[in-house]
Structure 1
């Protein structure tokens, strides 16, 4: 007996002491709070709060049916839906019946006094601005992990690091002491600061929705960029979704089509080729082209204009959006120069906006161009661009020829506002895509495009807008030509012309052709309202004097 005691004390003492320690001590995780997502002015777009939920321990419920009926009565649910779930969870010790109940409901649950039925608090991600920039912001899973958009992309910054505390319990396993040596505080997540301004974003989304609805269209996208820095002030998709209830919407709503969906741009692409022709001196301002009365056969196909033009100057080719005139410019440039300038303008590669899922667009290698490419590309066919690519590239005409890198995430900051990581793209020194004299000519032409618009579709009374419309046919899925009466109507613009501070782009997909489908009809008025609101909000001075007699007569030339 004595030997046995010596054995226990000597050889098993350490093991038994460790076992006792485990029974007396417990490590309790301290959950880190997820960081905020903030707009450019510090407004909260995404935050973590606490919500109350009701749970059951199915293994100890005295009567599953009574529990189901009690919960159903308090929460106004159907007990026939709750009871089967409780029975199916019979082998579990913790089953969530409903998340997000009111405090009054929680009090009633607790007052019911049913053993195995209770409430608990849990972190909950909320989006106080609801649908605002939803496809860009994304959402989190029920356990708080980012699974879409910036919530997913910046999850490692936002989630923080959990801590731990060690408690010591008595014989009844009741906690009575917090052990100092086992304590590690949680580090809450960092905050993500965006370039998006909620005020501008709200206006963009409102105008985009109105434009899509006005023409019974399928969908629309919009983006607003500061042309000198690349900061994205707004990017919108319609229809959108509410990330507070993301499971109520189809997954197609989650896609950020501003960066993921390339399309054939049509006439909004023409300024880039026209500027290339000027830069290469294959055309000079004022030069006149024979536009063949609206139909021109080149090789094995015929190009057509929307109006039977005879002779147009270089400037008029853009103002009236002549496909034939652009095709002839393409022949003068040749494939190699066309490809060179298209890539200089950033097409065929990601913009570097810093968001997941960005498409590089569609640009075939030069060796795969065919006999039609020389005349197709200048009028915005045989190439696929994303809305972000088009808007970014148009900034070239607004900032002295620089191809900027757009960005949406400005900085990662801690709770005190100290910058942990600056996300602003570094400035790079590069040659302007086009020389200054070419940019001056192009901006004047693009001002004329707007000033000749029907009923002032894109004109503003105190700020000179410059831009280009587009009415692009939608290619068939089998690659054989284009769908009938199916279009993407678009408009891209900069303002004010004297010292551009904003570039905006809108594309509306599949407007009802019986109502209207030209870019000047469908998209230009949306851009006009976006710019009007943004200029007033940002207090950007005007560059033209008020003139009650400014021309607003209807011209079919703006129809494209």
Structure 2
């Protein structure tokens, strides 16, 4: 009996000792956790409940020179979900599907496919109203993030120039891409407290404010852009042409006032987005410029001193053999002075002049006016064109170069070259950005030579029988030159019936303000000569632009051609 009592007493003390030991261990662990591991545990707890979430930054606005918006960012909502949580809310999928505007079956497939993940997009770029409707459902696992979406008020009219962004508001085409770093804002961060399901239950603090992007004021005049867009589109429809480009340049400042292409696309509706439609042909497509370069061959000849404005050249019957090639004129001319070489657009006449002065003056002139050289615009994907080294030119190459074959340029380069003629032979740097003051210019052509050539080109437009009579502008003296270039065939050589119709010119002659270049690709009906297809577009765009810019008329005494009267000439 005494032994049993002793055993019980020992067991009691053993149990008591065990409790004391456990209590001591627990106390020691609590002390360890709260004193020695407090910082670690706090960080681990925060990692499971405190989150840093981004604050979207507002992308900078793009405007035209008058402050009209061309690209703006509007508030939108991104709806996302935690599929691991949402998978357990099947009874409410139908409500969510209704807000999203998709079938319950489609939504279910998406959720089940991502059931093992913790993140999936439900819909991006929702309107704030629809995002709020989704939030109001209070379905566990559904989350909302504020974002921005790019919107282009002018739509297809400025699409090729302004470009587009992707869904994350990063530039992907055009000036949106070229100036992405300038336009893009810097996202901010805010600290929030979330529950175990990932729902935000409290905003803690803003760690970094979002920095909005900087705005960009373009040189484009939206009024001129709409005008050019409309007239180019109408011409393509009239002549059933494949494509076209039109560029307007301020001759003094080098600012590009309008740049349009067709076909085009609506940047607000990506279903119209295609490689063919998105190409900025005015800067990317290269072509042989044909007779539009003849004024620069004449300028090169005048610069050598071997030729004077009154100098003459005998073009005979309009046919000339150079090596194994035959050069032909559209019309016979006999003996022509330099003005009539341009008015008649004589290939034979300009070839004889070029062969007399040699390759170097022509090469130098073409390079200096910017043909096949870098424009300095920095536009993504811009082409330079092609110009061969003159030391490899034979007689046939010299002749061909003189009337616009054997090298390639862009529509912007063509407009810039004519802007140099209109600016007393001075070259101003081309730019897409609005200039507060006129920048420095580089002398390219002697002023008296540029004036002489401008007067020749005025005769091309205003004198009867000239190749540019359809380019006349009521109330203004304008100068310009048409061109018609056969297109190269894919297999080599030239096609038989595919042409580019061109016209480039400057107005008004008394005090030049703008240069305009028109390129129409493959007109199929109603003619193909530049003087027939492209010159009327130049006329309407030049007339509208000068009036919109409040440029004073310099030819009020001009007899305006009555509507419907047939105007002869204008073939080249």
Distance (Å, rounded) in 1 between the aligned partners of 2:558 and 2:212: 56
SS at match of 1:390: helix
Residue 206 of structure 1 corresponds to which residue in structure 2?
A: 230
Question: Which residue of 477, 483, 498 maps to 2:510?
Answer: 498
Of 50-59 and 145-154, deviating more is 50-59
Distance (Å, rounded) in 1 between the aligned partners of 2:137 and 2:54: 30
Task: Return the offset for 1:286.
Answer: 2.4
Residue 477 of structure 2 corresponds to which residue in structure 1?
A: 464
Contact 1:56/1:97 (8 A) holds in 2: yes
Question: Which residue of 362, 375, 387 maps to 2:411?
Answer: 387
Distance (Å, rounded) in 2 between the aligned partners of 1:102 and 1:47: 15
Is the aligned partner of 1:538 residue 2:563? no
SS at match of 1:243: coil
Residue 347 of structure 1 corresponds to which residue in structure 2?
A: 371
Question: Which residue of 249, 267, 272 maps to 2:273?
Answer: 249
Task: Return the offset for 1:17.
Answer: 3.4
Contact 1:323/1:379 (8 A) holds in 2: yes
Of 87-96 and 493-502, deviating more is 87-96
Task: Return the offset for 1:277.
Answer: 0.5
The verdict on how the C-alpha distance between 1:148 and 1:455 changes in structure 2, with shifts beyond 3 A counting, is: closer
Which one has the largest radius of gyration?
2
Q: TM-score, normalised by structure 1?
A: 0.89
The verdict on how the C-alpha distance between 1:68 and 1:184 changes in structure 2, with shifts beyond 3 A counting, is: closer
Distance (Å, rounded) in 2 between the aligned partners of 1:72 and 1:19: 37
Is the aligned partner of 1:375 residue 2:399? yes
CA offsets, 1:328-378, max 9 Å, x none?
011011012221222122223111123222221110122333441110000
Contact 1:208/1:238 (8 A) holds in 2: yes
The verdict on how the C-alpha distance between 1:60 and 1:9 changes in structure 2, with shifts beyond 3 A counting, is: closer
Contact 1:455/1:554 (8 A) holds in 2: no
The verdict on how the C-alpha distance between 1:455 and 1:371 changes in structure 2, with shifts beyond 3 A counting, is: closer
Distance (Å, rounded) in 2 between the aligned partners of 1:217 and 1:542: 33
Length, aligned pairs only: 542
- For structure 2, list consecutive stretches of 5 or more residues without a partner in the other structure: 1-24
Q: TM-score, normalised by structure 2?
A: 0.87
Is the aligned partner of 1:484 residue 2:510? no
Contact 1:208/1:220 (8 A) holds in 2: yes
Task: Return the offset for 1:110.
Answer: 5.2
Distance (Å, rounded) in 2 between the aligned partners of 1:386 and 1:117: 52
Distance (Å, rounded) in 1 between the aligned partners of 2:278 and 2:66: 25
Residue 296 of structure 1 corresponds to which residue in structure 2?
A: 320
- For structure 1, list consecutive stretches of 5 or more residues without a partner in the other structure: 412-421
Of 364-373 and 194-203, deviating more is 364-373
Task: Return the offset for 1:477.
Answer: 2.2
Is the aligned partner of 1:187 residue 2:211? yes
Distance (Å, rounded) in 2 between the aligned partners of 1:243 and 1:170: 40
Distance (Å, rounded) in 2 between the aligned partners of 1:30 and 1:97: 19
Residue 414 of structure 1 corresponds to which residue in structure 2?
A: none
The verdict on how the C-alpha distance between 1:80 and 1:304 changes in structure 2, with shifts beyond 3 A counting, is: farther
Residue 143 of structure 1 corresponds to which residue in structure 2?
A: 168
The verdict on how the C-alpha distance between 1:295 and 1:80 changes in structure 2, with shifts beyond 3 A counting, is: farther
Is the aligned partner of 1:508 residue 2:520? yes
Cα RMSD, aligned residues only: 2.8
Contact 1:64/1:86 (8 A) holds in 2: no
Task: Return the offset for 1:67.
Answer: 6.0
Distance (Å, rounded) in 1 between the aligned partners of 2:561 and 2:139: 77
The verdict on how the C-alpha distance between 1:425 and 1:73 changes in structure 2, with shifts beyond 3 A counting, is: same
Residue 38 of structure 1 corresponds to which residue in structure 2?
A: 63
CA offsets, 1:274-309, max 9 Å, x none?
111011122222222221312111222110111233
Question: Which residue of 528, 534, 546 maps to 1:523?
Answer: 534
Contact 2:85/2:141 (8 A) holds in 1: yes
Question: Which residue of 14, 19, 25 maps to 2:44?
Answer: 19
Is the aligned partner of 1:324 residue 2:348? yes
Question: Which residue of 158, 162, 165 maps to 2:187?
Answer: 162
The verdict on how the C-alpha distance between 1:89 and 1:545 changes in structure 2, with shifts beyond 3 A counting, is: same
Residue 112 of structure 2 corresponds to which residue in structure 1?
A: 87
Contact 1:110/1:118 (8 A) holds in 2: yes
Distance (Å, rounded) in 1 between the aligned partners of 2:406 and 2:502: 17
Residue 178 of structure 1 corresponds to which residue in structure 2?
A: 204
Contact 2:72/2:151 (8 A) holds in 1: yes
Task: Return the offset for 1:395.
Answer: 1.1
